Structure 1
């Protein structure tokens, strides 16, 4: 953090205090009850976090994507469910409208999304189209001046809350054509099915979605017809940097909890942190977190400078997600029996971190993308 400018440092410290004082005290409660933390989301909204990378003319804070990443790292240290709610709300919900929407669409949707008063979801994944999202089977047929959408989506974050107002859907609009269409959640025929029973991210809202003859105006087409898949690949490239920041936070959170526990827990007459095996394990955990942070800082810097960043985003996502999973495993071991109790943050990180190696591009997809970028 010493290398950050004053504005970035102040932002990170402010979110760190919010995470410590507001998020952490209710994390175990929401995790155990599988409840969406509306009061925490309202707090993030009042801080302007949902508007961080958007211009003020659309209700944003006039900041940038790196600022969002810093916020996600701080939130990820204490509660991944809260962090992914912000990440998906910004990167997957509002960002497609900002990047590809026309002026009318931006003015209609962005003020409520950037203020955090409403959430939007990103309807890409399907039961048979995950890593190979080009296998989309949802269809949208132009019928006069309306699109008629039929199909389903899977694993969609922020799609069923009481403040979800919009779902951006990829659908086949022709034999070899995928487009993106805006679907307000109050449209007849749209339904968020019952929430999943997940291993982790219990306080994150995730649903399958159904579209049964959903009719929306033709002007709800987002971006150019036939460019939906290509546009969402751009969104996913950016999102991988954000996920890397969240994962870095999780990795660092495991370090912080382990240092605290190893300094207090006494075994064989001394704090366990004085035993070399524990100390060296934590040292490796810190090295992983530092490496992950360096990777996402680099990817974000390239993106903001207008340079190619696909490879760096994949490297950051790969390194950070593995660091989070490895650190969660080590932190749980250091905590012993307590690490297996859900009231402890490291236990929740152990359950939560696995999906970081799956969502927004699996580890295998990142390796494939990196290999392509180096010419293989």
Structure 2
């Protein structure tokens, strides 16, 4: 069921319709096969790039779409309602463009942003390490300064689009302490960079998640983003936006589960009536709908604050927490509505349930979100 959206401009309404058309024609027909076979959807991101859907939140002067964040997130939600793995990769790509857009020099922006935003290059974020997930200050991957650049040694973990993306935002240690982290734009063909085999995940099978290994890999000085030692500031500035992306993905996933559950409840009969007409089932669906609508409202509130230039870090954490918890509950309830059929792979709801779980974990676990929210209250 298409969500009736409140959008700021007629252009935004046209953009949502374009997204639905592209998603229904390009994503929906192939999602089940690729997720089942765990194969990468070659050509999908090029198509999304040609449609202008990979750069919506960035300025037009560099090839972006110039759209408010609230519009971009609703586009992301529409993609997620068809294919969560692709939507997550789009969110990560948007996140990966943020450091260059905000902290890059004019020369760097002119050189790299047009391809990054035009869909010619797909980006990935390379922050976490095997022993340092949410604790970014504990990074060990090291960047040693040389005459013309840096030699990178160490490993990274949990990279969405690892081994496939064209560029990686690498956060590596150039000094001591939390102010000793720097950000680099690393090309996929950098000598000394290799990737592990894709993780065997519970869901999001079509997009690889890998580790990366840097064996004395050379990165030129011109690929340092921001100042040396500014890495954590860059990483954290992007993560608030990334958390909103995951919130929107979670809502799209929950909306898809709700739609499938309602459709099934309208078709299946028991005791002489459609099961949706039984109060016990109807109330369950009502709670699912309330959860989806509430989660959407939280991410839109945070996005509108971002668009208005207001502080939104706590709101982003609230949105990520509320939306992903809602997605987990709604997808689980969707399986319940379908009963035994919901537990089989003949219906998509079991996949939605598996996919929803990771949204509570990445871009900062929901326990980390609670920590961020609690600290913001204590700092008032």
> Shorter-chain TM-score: what band?
over 0.9
CA shift for structure 1 position 68: 1.6
- Matched residue of 2:166: which SS? strand
Question: Could you list the per-position Cα deviations for residues 43-71 of structure 1 after superposition, in whole angstroms to 9, with x for gaps in the alignment?
Answer: 21121011211222212122232222011
- Matched residue of 1:38: which SS? coil
- Matched residue of 1:117: which SS? coil
Give the corresponding residue for 1:349.
Answer: 352
Structure 1 residue runs without a partner (length 5+) = none
- TM-score computed with the length of structure 2 as normaliser: 0.95
Correspondence list, 1:138-287, <5 A: 138-161=141-164, 164-176=165-177, 177-287=180-290
Which stretch has the larger CA shift, 18-27 or 74-83?
Answer: 18-27
2: CA distance between counterparts of 1:351 and 1:372?
A: 31
Conservation of the 8 A alpha-carbon contact between 2:152 and 2:216: yes
CA shift for structure 1 position 251: 1.2
Cα RMSD of the aligned pairs, angstroms, is: 1.3
2: CA distance between counterparts of 1:343 and 1:308?
A: 45
CA shift for structure 1 position 337: 2.1
After TM superposition, the runs of 4+ consecutive aligned structure 1 residues lying more than 3 A away are none
CA shift for structure 1 position 40: 2.4
1: CA distance between counterparts of 2:116 and 2:144?
A: 28
Which stretch has the larger CA shift, 206-215 or 93-102?
Answer: 93-102
How many pairs are equivalent?
Answer: 373
Give the corresponding residue for 2:62.
Answer: 58
Correspondence list, 1:65-84, <5 A: 65-84=69-88
CA shift for structure 1 position 22: 2.3
2: CA distance between counterparts of 1:246 and 1:175?
A: 36
CA shift for structure 1 position 167: 1.1
CA shift for structure 1 position 2: 4.6
2: CA distance between counterparts of 1:99 and 1:368?
A: 26
- TM-score computed with the length of structure 1 as normaliser: 0.96
Question: Could you list the per-position Cα deviations for residues 340-376 of structure 1 after superposition, in whole angstroms to 9, with x for gaps in the alignment?
Answer: 2234221111110000000001010000000011116
Give the corresponding residue for 2:48.
Answer: 44
Question: Could you list the per-position Cα deviations for residues 52-105 of structure 1 after superposition, in whole angstroms to 9, with x for gaps in the alignment?
Answer: 1122221212223222201111111121111111111112x2122111111222
1: CA distance between counterparts of 2:204 and 2:310?
A: 33
- Matched residue of 1:155: which SS? strand
1:302 aligns with 2:305: yes
2: CA distance between counterparts of 1:353 and 1:277?
A: 24
- Matched residue of 1:374: which SS? helix
Give the corresponding residue for 1:319.
Answer: 322
- Matched residue of 1:107: which SS? helix
2: CA distance between counterparts of 1:315 and 1:86?
A: 22
- Matched residue of 2:158: which SS? strand
2: CA distance between counterparts of 1:223 and 1:338?
A: 52
